């Protein structure tokens, strides 16, 4: 992977996590508001869902503890998702995860610009001091 591509992926990870943390204030599993981050229902190794911001998508706010636990015990996160969005949507998301999607650098750049705009819109609408 080129240095430029690595930088794009890292920047997308960072802005996606910031958006998720602004949209959802607490951990979807335990309700904690400490040490929040972007949790992925299905592994972020799949670019098809790594930066999925849809409300019923792959990314949701999780505390560090629940996110770490998901590595060895996926049930609590899967259970939450299915109860919230349904088994059918969970199965659809899993199919998307299994779909190989190769993104070109220019597609990552376009996504990064779009996500930065989304981030700015959320910050402005909440009148946050940063």
Q: Is residue 98 part of a domain?
A: yes
79-128 pLDDT, tens per residue?
999 999 999 999 999 999 999 889 999 999 999 999 999 999 998 886 65
Consecutive H or E run containing 98: helix 87-98
pLDDT at 129: 54
Calculate the dihedral angle through the C-alpha atoms of 27, 91, 42, 17, rounding to the nearest 10 degrees: -50
36-95 pLDDT, tens per residue?
999 999 999 989 999 999 999 999 999 999 999 999 999 999 999 999 999 999 999 999
Q: Is residue 53 part of a domain?
A: yes
Structural domains counted in the chain: 1
Question: Is the whole model's pTM more than 0.95, yes or no?
Answer: no
Q: Is residue 10 part of a domain?
A: no
Q: Is residue 118 part of a domain?
A: no
Q: Is residue 69 part of a domain?
A: yes
What distance in Å separates the CA atoms of residue 48 and residue 66, rounded to the nearest whole number?
A: 23
Range of the domain at 75: 21-102
């Amino acid at each position: 992977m080129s240095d430029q591509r690595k930088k794009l992926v890292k920047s997308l990870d960072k802005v996606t996590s910031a958006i998720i943390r602004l949209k959802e204030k607490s951990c979807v599993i335990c309700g904690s508001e400490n040490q929040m981050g972007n949790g992925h229902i299905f592994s972020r190794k799949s670019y098809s869902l790594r930066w999925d911001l849809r409300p019923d998508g792959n990314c949701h706010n999780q505390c560090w503890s629940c996110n770490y636990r998901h590595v060895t015990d996926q049930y609590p996160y899967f259970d939450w998702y299915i109860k919230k969005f349904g088994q059918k949507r969970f199965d659809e998301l899993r199919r998307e995860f299994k779909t190989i999607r190769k993104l070109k650098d220019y597609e990552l750049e376009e996504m990064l610009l779009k996500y930065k705009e989304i981030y700015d819109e959320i910050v402005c609408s909440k009148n946050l001091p940063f």
